[in-house]
């Protein structure tokens, strides 16, 4: 549905192949803790599913240039309430 142009593009393939777990299903992860990025949590969470998280140990994600593209015709049926 969307793609980010970074050095981690291989991770996006894993999501589309359903090879990654939804981090929201892991009970002992508390994304309200201060070491997790609330901004990233809110913006990477799509339809209640979270496959990526950013925290204090991943500071390079805050300064890396990113390009995002979206296929809105695919996004609408799967996440109609998402406003990108």
- Print pLDDT tens along the chain (84 aa): 444 445 556 667 777 787 778 888 888 888 899 988 888 888 888 778 888 888 777 766 666 656 667 777 887 888 778 776
Query: Using CA atoms, how far apart are residues 52 and 80, in angstroms rounded to an integer?
Result: 21
With 0.85 as the threshold, say if the pTM is over it.
Answer: no
Query: Using CA atoms, how far apart are residues 30 and 36, in angstroms rounded to an integer?
Result: 8
């Amino acid at each position: 549905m969307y793609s980010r142009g970074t050095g981690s593009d291989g991770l996006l393939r894993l999501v589309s192949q359903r090879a990654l777990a939804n981090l929201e299903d892991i009970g002992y992860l508390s994304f309200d803790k201060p070491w997790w990025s609330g901004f990233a949590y809110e913006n990477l969470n799509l339809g209640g599913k979270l496959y990526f998280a950013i925290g204090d140990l991943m500071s390079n994600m805050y300064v890396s240039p990113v390009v995002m593209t979206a296929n809105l015709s695919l996004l609408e049926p799967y996440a109609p309430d998402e406003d990108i």
